Every structure is written in C-alpha cells, then in structure tokens.
Amino acid sequence: MKTKQLSERQLLGIAGLGWLFDAMDVGILSFIIAALHAEWGLSPTEMSWIGSVNSIGMAVGALVFGLLADRIGRKTVFIVTLVLFSVASGLSALTTTLAAFLVFRFLIGMGLGGELPVASTLVSETVAPEKRGKVVVLLESFWAFGWLLAALISYFVIPAYGWQLALILTAIPAFYAIYLRIKLPDSPQFVKATKEKKMSIADNVKSVWSKPYRQSTIMLWVLWFCVVFSYYGMFLWLPSVMVIKGFSLIKSFEYVLIMTLAQLPGYYTAAWFIERMGRKFVLVTYLLGTAASAYIFGNAESLWLLLTAGMLLSFFNLGAWGALYAYTPEQYPTSIRGTGAGMAASFGRIGGILGPLLVGYMSTQGTSLTVTFSIFCAAILIGVISVVFLGKETKQKQLA
C-alpha cells in the first residue's frame, strides 16, 4: 500500500509540475498584456487578440492532441505538448512585433491546450476510483501555484527588467519537467486497451457523439464553453481592469497577487468535497459562487469590495475548474477518453477566444464593467443549468 501511495504522489508531482509551468505562462500573459499596452501602445482590440490567439491555439491543440492521445498514448502526447509549449514560450521573449508575438502565442496555446486534458486523463486512468476525483483536483491546484509564481515574477521582474525576462523564466524550468516525464509510465488502462483492436480517429469522433455518450457530450461542451469563456474573459483582463479602475500598473499587479492567493483554498476545499458530496455538487456550488462573485466584482467601486470579490472569484472559479477536469474524463471509456476530453476542451476554447475579444470590444465602445461582468455571470449560470439537467454523477465509479 505504501508503494502505491508513493506512486500516486510521484505521478501527481510530475504531472503537476508541468501544470504549474503552464499556469505560470498563462498567468504572466495577463500581466504582459498590460505591460505591452504601455510599451507597444496597443489598443484594447490588439490587447484582446493576444489572449484570443492563445485560446485559438489551445482549441487546436486540445482537438489534435486529444485525438492523438487515443492513438499514440497519453505519455507521448504529454511530453510533446510540453516541448512545444516550452520552446515557443522561450522564443516569444525574442519578438519585437505584435505579429511575431501572436504566432508564438498560438504555438504556446497548442501545447498548453493539448497537455491539460491529456494530463487529467492520464491521472484519472492511473489512480484508484475512490481517490480519483480528489487527486485530479489536487493536480489542478498546481495551477494556483503557477499563477502565484507568475504574479510574483510579474511584480518583481517586469517593472524592473522587462517582460522578456519574465517569459524566459517561465520557459527554462519546464525542461526539467520534460526530463521527469520521460521516466513516467503510460496509463495502465491505455496500455491494456492497445492490446485490443484500435478504432480509427473518425470512428472515435463518431463514438463520442453516439447515443450512449451524446447527452454527456452535449453537457460537457456547453459547460466547457461557459467556464472557459468567463475565465479567460475575466482573468486575462484582471490587471488591466484594475488599471481601468484607476490603479497604477504596479499596484494592480499587487492586488491581483492578493486575489490569486484565494485560488489555493478554492482547490483544496473542492478536493475535499468532491469525493464526499460528488462532482455535480462541487460544480454547481462553485459555479454559482463564481457567478455571484463576478457580478459583485463588476459593480464594485471601493478597493475593499474589489479585493473581496476578486478573492471570492478566484476561490470559486478555480475550485470549479478542478472539478471540471476530474469530471470530464469520467464520461467516456478508455478507447475514446482522450478524444472525448480533447473535443470538449477544444470546443470550450472557442469561448476562450470570444471572452477576451468581448472585453476588448466592449471596452473600446465605452461599455461599463458592470455590463461586461454581468454577461460572464449569465454564461456561468448556463453552465450550471447544463450540469443540473444533463450531468450524471460519476463519484467513485470504476472507469470503463
């Protein structure tokens, strides 16, 4: 039993380390957008395109690498996506034009979008059913540590040394995670499934939409779209929103760092509840908390209310993300699990494209933040409805 627990911890550490570096990059991007606005004189529309191109890459990566994960294995895709992400992230620090920066953001997004659903699938297939949800949520909690590091680097490095050094700092350590992953065994369920006849990629896609899985697929696609749309629309713009509210760039970084700290208890409480109360309970509860926090944040005028609402937003939204990554792979059997999770994540990334663009467009039009955040609040409520009426509880069920 001791060896098994150690193996789970090692798996969590190796997978989580890559997750952490991915989060560092996404987190730093929100601060870099604010810095590039000042350095390159970007318009709100150009700023929004940086976040959206990143999401376009994530949509493509989630689809392509999700399909490949069912063909060549979870481990191989796990390594390839991190290599792509790390190299592109380092090279993006050398760019001097917005066009070149956008090209590298697309490649970074491909690596990031491909890795996340495959990582959660690999962990889901390796961990025992009674611990599966908790461990996947704990895997997601590494995202908070990555965001914290991003906030610290942005606060101390970007104002003094520039955004280029910040990007290099996110890329270099990721190569250590690649080294660790080479020694990582593939999913035992995938290895077992490879001894049976493999379906074609086209058959896998058809199976995801076949009658046994159609309801789950519709539910996941709606849920992913709503969660990703609201997350990237709100969180990529947090530092910029604080600047719009009248705070200096450095003060905005400081306040976002404080808000980010609330992500950790959000993950850990979700990890505690998910095996006791179930996936649907955590998703519905934490998404409702996210919707309420988003509405308050958009209407807040005083600093204390902004910080309180921002911390609650981080707490509930990231706890919901943990449950989402635990819930998604559990909807499909091993033969199409990578395809199903990848397609859901890919469709969700369309929301990640539209969210930042919406904020940029509405900001250009002079629309108040109250209206903008009310739209995100409504989107989250639609996600809640899809889980309540279409979702099936998968707590501690043996994966097919």
Q: Residue 137's closest CA among 308, 2, 328, 287?
A: 328
Task: Check residue 307 and give its pLDDT.
Answer: 86
Task: Check residue 250 and give its pLDDT.
Answer: 63
For residue 45, the tally of other CB atoms under 10 A from its CB is 12
Backbone angles phi, psi at 6, to 5 degrees: -65, -40
- Collect all residues with Cβ–Cβ distance below 8 Å to 310 and sequence separation of at least 6: 238, 255, 256, 258, 259, 262, 293, 297
Per-residue CA distances from 39 to 45, 96, 235, 245, 342 (Å) = 16, 11, 21, 20, 36
Task: Check residue 400 and give its pLDDT.
Answer: 64
pTM (2 decimals)? 0.82
The domain over range 2-182+200-390 is classified in CATH as 1.20.1250.20 = yes
Task: Check residue 372 and give its pLDDT.
Answer: 87
Residue 335 CA to residue 127 CA, distance in Å, equals 17
Residue 64 CA to residue 69 CA, distance in Å, equals 9
- Those residues of the chain that have pLDDT short of 50 are 1-6
Q: Where are the alpha helices (DSSP H) in the chain?
A: 2-39, 44-72, 74-92, 98-126, 129-156, 158-161, 163-171, 174-182, 188-194, 201-208, 211-235, 238-244, 249-261, 263-274, 279-299, 303-327, 334-364, 369-390
pLDDT 10s digits, 85-122: 888 988 998 988 899 999 999 999 999 889 888 888 88
Task: Check residue 173 and give its pLDDT.
Answer: 66
Task: Check residue 1 and give its pLDDT.
Answer: 35
Task: Check residue 249 and give its pLDDT.
Answer: 62
Residue 237 CA to residue 268 CA, distance in Å, equals 25
